[in-house]
């Protein structure tokens, strides 16, 4: 029997499939398309998603294909205004190794994730459309349109805003739409324009954006559309794109060819009120849709999958009881609500700025475009006994240390995988690092022979540690527990694992 059926092989479904396969979970990843998507669609991975994908072992591959620091070249009413780089001053830090997002089209993200999934023994099953499913207390039965039936323990919907699974569950996407605003989008070949910047024309006639995709002369075009006599947006086409370029730029030397992935995007601000019904779970766009400002769509889906993947894997491999899955909804629903709010505010700022000289898409930057500040402090999985600046539920920072052999070691290297990591700061933490379950990795820091040395103090500063202490880090690299390294510490750690996560006897 298949253990998990995942419906939808975009970035969300692929991230989840890789995370589960790495834990030895049997996965069937289905997609109704007959061929893999080639459109750019989402085009930015934020620093938090890069940390996730580094844990899966593919950040270097993505970096080799993408680019950072893409200047914004802004024009108003056809005239050049300025070049700006919102991330010009961003630098890697000891606690955050990725200083900015990575620009690359979504199809390349998906291709790289498929390569990783194949290395883990999985694959995408194309032309496999889910028709319906049934579930009971023991499992899920998925019936495909071609008559095949797949029996599984769980089914996860990653099938987008028009999700078949969500509709079959009867869960509405609640929220609002703005039928009066639209964008036409597409991938085009461009000649006559330097690919060293994201070109952004604003003005009285509307907006036009041309972003180089780093793949030959391929660019992504986004524009406010033309309208018909009834006020409806005209469908995108190469011919309409050429008209829009001449109208918005005032130039005839920019030549377009070979338009692909044509799409009309409308503002929808909607989300579900629950992520789980029994053995069926939702992730990504099927659970939340929102404005494109801030570039949060693909990233939020990847991070949904990252939160769910370790929990589902631990349940299925016997390391945790099924109640752990309740924390997925508990933690990710508030993040979806935050995403809808900040992306809506950002979109409003961009729309308002279209008629203002010097304004570009950075007007839509959200409060935390990096994703590094997203936390789960409210979660039932968060237990804080230190009360320091870093709290249970926060993202666990990276830090450079030195190993016992004198070689450099980063904390992220210790975190990589589906295990918990127990950081023990100082000699008094040593007893708590002994006799741990196999799925908890002990890491001693400045605790005597054999421990990591924090010579520069980056680990202590990153975690707000001033004395001997313990920090338990979850498999998704969020802090689970903080505690002083006192006589009660060993039992505090074991009690946390028994109470919060572990199945009886694990």
CA nearest to 136, candidates 29, 314, 280: 280
Instruction: Kindly give, in sequence order, each residue whose CB lies less than 8 Å from that of residue 303, ignoring residues fewer than 6 positions away.
Output: 48, 49, 52, 335, 371, 374
Is the separation of the CB atoms in 23 and 317 below 8 Å?
yes
pTM of the model: 0.96
CA nearest to 265, candidates 198, 344, 179: 179
* The predicted structure's pLDDT at residue 448: 92
User: Residue-wise pLDDT tens for the chain (506 aa)?
Assistant: 569 999 999 999 999 999 999 999 999 999 999 999 999 999 999 999 999 999 999 999 999 999 998 999 999 999 999 999 888 888 899 999 998 899 999 999 999 999 999 999 999 999 999 999 999 999 999 999 999 999 999 999 999 999 999 999 999 999 988 766 788 999 999 999 999 999 999 998 889 999 999 877 899 999 999 888 887 888 999 999 999 999 999 999 999 999 999 999 888 899 999 999 999 999 999 999 988 877 788 999 999 999 999 999 999 999 999 999 999 999 999 999 999 888 888 887 777 777 777 777 776 666 678 899 999 999 999 999 999 999 999 999 999 999 999 999 999 999 999 999 999 999 999 999 999 999 999 999 999 999 999 999 999 999 999 999 999 999 999 999 999 999 999 999 999 998 876 655 45
Q: What is the dihedral of CA 98, 371, 471, 387, to 10 degrees?
A: 130
Beta bridge partners of 201: 75, 208
CA nearest to 37, candidates 115, 111, 129: 111
φ/ψ of residue 187, rounded to 5: -100, 130
Distances (CA, A) of 421 to 440, 444, 470, 479, 497: 5, 10, 10, 10, 12
Domain 2-39+108-175+271-364 is found in CATH 3.40.640.10: no
* The predicted structure's pLDDT at residue 210: 97
Place of tokens 């939160």: 307
Structure tokens at 194: 């330097």
CATH 3.50.50.60-classified regions of the chain: 2-39+108-175+271-364
Is the separation of the CB atoms in 14 and 114 below 8 Å?
yes
Q: Which residues of 334-358 are buried (b: 16+ CB within 10 A; e: fewer)?
A: ebbebbbebbbebbebbbebbeeee
CATH 3.40.30.120-classified regions of the chain: 383-501
d(CA 157, CA 275): 10
Q: Is 434 exposed, middle or buried (0-12, 13-18, 19+ CB in 10 A)?
A: exposed
d(CA 185, CA 334): 30
CATH of domain 383-501: 3.40.30.120
């Amino acid at each position: 029997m298949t253990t998990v059926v995942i419906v939808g092989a975009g970035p969300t479904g692929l991230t989840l499939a890789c995370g589960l396969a790495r834990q030895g979970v049997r996965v069937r990843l289905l997609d109704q398309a007959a061929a893999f998507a080639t459109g750019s669609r989402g085009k930015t991975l934020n620093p938090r998603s890069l940390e996730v994908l580094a844990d899966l072992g593919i950040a270097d591959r993505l970096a080799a294909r993408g680019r950072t620091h893409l200047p914004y070249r802004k024009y108003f009413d056809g005239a050049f205004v300025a070049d700006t780089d919102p991330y010009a001053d961003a630098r890697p830090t000891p606690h955050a190794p990725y200083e900015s997002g990575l620009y690359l089209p979504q199809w390349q993200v998906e291709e790289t994730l498929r390569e990783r999934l194949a290395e883990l023994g999985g694959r995408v099953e194309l032309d496999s459309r889910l028709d319906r499913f049934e579930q009971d207390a023991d499992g899920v039965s998925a019936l495909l349109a071609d008559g095949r039936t797949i029996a599984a323990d769980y089914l996860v919907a990653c099938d987008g805003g028009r999700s078949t699974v969500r509709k079959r569950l009867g869960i509405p996407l609640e929220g609002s739409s703005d039928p009066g605003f639209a964008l036409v989008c597409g991938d085009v070949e461009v000649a006559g324009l330097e690919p060293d910047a994201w070109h952004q024309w604003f003005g009285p006639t509307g907006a036009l954006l041309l972003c180089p995709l780093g793949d030959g002369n391929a660019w992504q075009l986004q524009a406010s559309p033309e309208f018909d006599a009834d006020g409806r947006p005209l469908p995108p086409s190469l011919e309409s794109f050429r008209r829009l370029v001449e109208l918005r730029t005032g130039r005839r030397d920019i030549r377009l060819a070979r338009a692909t992935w044509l799409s009309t995007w409308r503002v929808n601000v909607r989300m579900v009120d629950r992520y789980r019904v029994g053995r069926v779970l939702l992730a990504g766009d099927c659970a939340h849709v929102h404005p494109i400002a801030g570039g949060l769509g693909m990233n939020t889906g990847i991070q949904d999958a990252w939160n769910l993947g370790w929990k589902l894997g631990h349940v299925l491999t016997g390391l945790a009881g099924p109640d752990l899955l309740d924390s997925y909804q508990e933690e990710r629903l508030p993040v979806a609500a935050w995403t809808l709010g900040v992306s809506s505010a950002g979109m409003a700022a961009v729309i308002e700025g279209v008629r203002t000289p010097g304004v570009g898409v950075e007007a839509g930057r959200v409060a935390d475009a990096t994703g590094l500040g997203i936390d789960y402090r409210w979660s039932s999985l968060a237990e804080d006994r230190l009360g320091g600046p870093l709290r249970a539920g926060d993202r666990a920072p990276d830090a450079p240390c030195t190993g016992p052999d004198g070689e450099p070691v980063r904390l992220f290297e210790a975190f990589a995988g589906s295990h918990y990591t127990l950081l023990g700061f100082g000699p008094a933490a040593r007893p708590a690092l002994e006799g741990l379950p196999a799925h908890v990795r002990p890491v001693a820091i400045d605790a005597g022979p054999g421990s990591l040395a924090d010579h520069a103090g980056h680990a202590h500063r990153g975690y707000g540690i001033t004395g001997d202490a313990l920090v338990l880090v979850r498999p998704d690299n969020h802090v689970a527990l903080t505690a002083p390294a006192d006589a009660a510490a060993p039992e505090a750690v074991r009690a946390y694992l028994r109470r919060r996560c572990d199945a009886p006897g694990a």
